[in-house]
Amino acid sequence: MRFLLTLAVWAVTAAVVLTFFVFRNNSSGSVEDVKNILPERDISIEITTTFSTEKDPFALNISDDKQKAFTVSLDGKAVYEADTGIEKGEPLILKAVKLSDGQHEVMVTSAPVSGAGDNAVRIRAVMDGVVLNDNTDWFTDGQEIVSVIRFDTGKTDGK
Amino acid sequence: MFFRSVLFLFVLNLPYLLFAQTVAVVSTTQIYDITKNIAGDDVKVLSILAPGQDPHTYSPVPADIEKVKSADIVIENGLHLEGKNWMKNLAADAKKPLVTASDGIVPLILEAHGEKINDPHAWFTPQNAAVYVNNITRALIRIDPEKKENFVMRAKLYLAQLRALDGWIKKEVSVIPPDRRVLVTNHDAFNYFAKEYGFVNTAPTGWSTGSEVGGGVTPERREKAVRSIKEMRVRTIFFETTINPKLIREIAADAGVRVGGSLYSDSMGDEGTPGETYIGMMRENVLKIVRGLK
Ligand SMILES: [Zn+2]
């Protein structure tokens, strides 16, 4: 009986030690990956418009596909949507810290009220105080606004 | 023998069974064009009215009953544009689901002989046309959910075109001084357009060209139109493509003003004309109104 108990304790101890070594080896191998996926960087997207938004009469409103008057998407996924609250000349600042190294794309779509003149959207991508891209697009009155910028979080030198 | 007949019928119907297309039957030419823009070639769209026909006075013919029988969905304008509710009745008789494209629009109220009437000519602003687009898109998704992605993508493009149309109209009519924005036409079809773009409008014929309450031409209305033209110093008045221009020509002569050509109102233009689409008909109307009144 005592022999069996000793054997069991020994087996459990061995398993724990083995698991520790396996885990340590694996994690030491992926330190680089973890750094790439979650950079400790301060990335923000700043959007400034020449118009304020309100509810869009030309939006598509089918049950599960409700278009908002102002949307920001990052790499194809909506990260900000609103009908109101975007004010002319006041920058909207989105903090987007969890980005992998490499190319990213920000798209802003909006629908300003027509008849008030031409409109513009400025999008800036900033990482650790360095501007990665800064672009302003102009749109004629009544035109739907679709502005896209791309930036590379892996290439900070020289910028 | 029986088995062979069944097999023969099956083979005969095979193309239909394999390629059977969803069918939408619509009442007016405007709704036809809007629906086509969303449906593409995923749905067969058939219109009861042909270009130039008047929805207020139309009476269905046997061919219309057959068309509606083939429908998976029936789409009307609503707000009693279809005189005596002929499209509602066709759908009910054939037991087909009916969608009202103007659902959700807050109608303008017209007063006639002490009665309040909802103005049915809602499509005359791109904003309201966008409501039609939403209702029709939802209806098409309901009858053919597999094509949803196509319907949604087309609807988004069409809505962007309607937005551009609205901006363009605002810009173009801005060259007409506000005190000259008076729109005189055959019948009271342009209220939504007038309200959206800052016009005053009047017509010798009421909201309907038919015999409904508040519809048709009366001596008082004709007199009022001539008076308004003189008081407001209107220089140009317009007739409509679906209505005999005789009345407008007489009024123009009485009031001493010119006729600025024909506007598309309750029907779009024939195939091959600039007014054969909704956007085309709005564009051509605005061109004539701006040229006539600025
Ligand atoms: Zn009418």
Same domain, B108 and B28: yes
- Locate the chain A residue with the closest alpha carbon to B162: A58
Residue A158 maps to a domain? no
Mean pLDDT, residues A40-63 taken together: 86
Do B195 and B151 lie in one domain? The reply is: no
Query: Is A157 part of a structural domain of the chain?
Result: no
Interatomic CA distance for residues B125 and B108, integer angstroms: 12
Rounded to the nearest whole angstrom, what is the distance from the C-alpha of residue B217 to the centroid of ligand 1?
13
CA–CA dist B169, B127 (Å, integer) = 12
Q: Is the pLDDT of residue A37 over 70?
A: no
Positions in chain B whose pLDDT score sits under 50: none
Q: Chain B within 8 Å of A54 (Cβ-Cβ)?
A: no
Which pLDDT score is estimated for A61?
Answer: 87
Residue A81 and residue A44 share a domain: yes
Interface of B with A in 138-157 (CB under 8 A): 138, 141, 152, 155-156
Does one domain contain both A68 and A114?
yes
Neighbouring C-alpha atoms within 13 Å toward the C-beta of B130: 20
Number of independent structural domains in chain A? 2
Task: Give the Å distance between the CA of B290 and the centre of ligand 1.
Answer: 22
For residue A144, what is the nearest residue in chain B, using CA coordinates?
B160
Cβ–Cβ below 8 Å for A142 and B127: no
- How far apart CA B170 and CA B265 sit, in angstroms, is 19
**Residue B39 Cα, ligand 1 centroid: separation in angstroms?**
26
Of A61, A62, A142, the CB nearest to B163: A142
**Shortest CA gap B159–chain A (Å):** 6
Domain boundary among B139, B166, B193: B166
**A58/B168 touch (CB, cutoff 8 Å), yes or no:** no
Q: Which domain holds residue A45?
A: 39-152
d(CA B130, CA B125): 9
Residue of B133, B171, B196 to mutate when probing chain A, most A C-beta within 10 A: B171
Please judge whether B127 and A58 are an interchain contact, meaning their C-beta atoms are less than 8 angstroms apart: yes
Q: What is the CATH number of the domain that holds B42?
A: 3.40.50.1980
Contact B126, A142 (CB under 8 A): no
Domain that holds residue B47: 18-166
Which band of pLDDT confidence, cut at 50, 70 and 90, is reported for residue A123?
A: very high
Name the token pair of A43. 């990335």
How much is the average pLDDT of A85-100?
85
Query: pTM of the predicted model, to two decimals?
Result: 0.79
Q: If pLDDT is split at 50, 70 and 90, which confidence band does A24 have?
A: very low
pLDDT band, very low/low/confident/very high, at A39 (cuts 50, 70, 90): very low
Q: Is residue A31 part of a domain?
A: yes
B-chain residues near A59 (CB < 8 A)? 130, 159
Task: Say if residue A27 is in the same domain as residue A67.
Answer: no
Q: Contacts of residue A111 in chain B, CB cutoff 8 Å?
A: 163
Q: Are residues B32 and B76 in the same domain?
A: yes
Whole-angstrom Cα distance, residue A123 to residue A52?
A: 16
**pLDDT tens figures, A140-151:** 887 889 999 999
Same domain, A6 and A65: no
Same domain, A44 and A102: yes
**Which of A53, A55, A56, A62 to mutate against chain B (most B CBs within 10 Å)?**
A62
Q: Do the domain assignments include residue B8? A: no
Note the maximum CA span of chain A. Answer: 91
Core vs surface per residue B186-213: b (16+ CB within 10 A) or e: bbbbbbbbbebbebebbbbbbbbbbebe
Q: Let me know if residue A86 belongs to a domain.
A: yes
Answer whether B57's CB lies under 8 Å from B210's CB.
yes
| H/E element, A133 | strand A130-139
Rounded to an integer, what distance in angstroms lies between the CA atom of residue A137 and that of residue A123? 9
Mean pLDDT value across chain A: 76
Q: How far is A51 from chain B (nearest CA, A)?
A: 15
Instruction: Assess if residue B3 is contained within a domain.
Output: no
User: At residue A42, what are phi and psi to the nearest 5 degrees?
Assistant: -100, 95
The per-residue pLDDT for B151 is 97
Gap between the Cα atoms of B122 and B105, Å rounded: 8
Q: Which residues of A touch B134 (CB under 8 A)?
A: 60-62
Residue A116 lies in a domain: yes
Whether residue A20 is found in the same domain as residue A52: no
Question: Are both A8 and A70 inside the same structural domain?
Answer: no
Would you state the structure tokens that stand for residue B177, as one six-digit string?
Answer: 């001084």
Whether B42 and B107 map to the same domain: the answer is yes
Residue B19 is encoded by which pair of tokens? 């390629």
**Complex ipTM value:** 0.81
Q: Give CA–CA dist B147/B284, Å, rounded.
A: 33
- Which tokens go with A92? 């909207």
* DSSP 3-state of A67: coil
Q: Which of A28-32, A130-134, B37-41, B279-283 has the lowest mean pLDDT?
A: A28-32
Q: Are both B102 and B201 inside the same structural domain?
A: no
Q: Are B141 and B257 members of one domain?
A: no
Contact A105, A76 (CB under 8 A): yes
N residues, chain A? 159
Q: Give the relative orientation of helices B246-255 and B219-231 as an angle to the nearest 10 degrees.
A: 50
Of chain A residues 98-127, which have a CB less than 8 A from chain B?
111, 114-115
CB within 8 Å: A60 and B133: yes
Scan residues 163-182 of B and list those with Cβ closer than 8 Å to A: 163-168, 170-171
